[in-house]
Amino acid sequence: MNRNVVRTDGAPAPVGPYSQAVVAGDLVFTAGQIALVPGTKELAGDDIRSQTRQVLQNLKAVLEAAGSGLDKAVKTTVFLKNMDDFAAMNEVYGEYFAKEPPARSAVEVARLPLGALVEIECVACK
């Protein structure tokens, strides 16, 4: 099985020793994306809606660089700093996955990198 590392300037560069995504066979495995604005070290706003929107834009860029897209996502995992933000995150998430959304898990975590409110990772088909 082929294994290829994905890199794109359309999403934030990794902040540690990991790849934005790895393609293995016909599947794309993304790293978790937080709301960093590409080319900066700044989060896109301090509210869950703006951060979720940026996270999904980053995820979209990584998937497209891998030859995939949000429409080919099969599973996402959402990590929330505060589960009270679930409804607002879900509203924005639904804008990106309106038709035939992927399977999803959502969990509350103690902390996220750089003080982010949300992080989302994805598995998608090529």
| pLDDT of 15 over the 90 cut | no
Nearest-CA neighbor of 119 among 18, 25, 27? 18
| pLDDT of 55 over the 80 cut | yes
pLDDT classification of 1: cutoffs 50, 70, 90: confident
Residues 74 and 12: their CA atoms lie apart, in Å, by 23
**What pTM did the predictor assign?**
0.96
pLDDT classification of 102: cutoffs 50, 70, 90: very high
Residues 64 and 62: their CA atoms lie apart, in Å, by 5
pLDDT digits (tens, 9 = 90+) for 59-90: 999 999 999 999 999 999 999 999 999 999 99
Cβ atoms 97, 70 nearer than 8 A: yes
Domains of the chain: 3-125 (3.30.1330.40)
pLDDT classification of 41: cutoffs 50, 70, 90: confident
Q: What integer is the mean pLDDT of 94-107?
A: 97
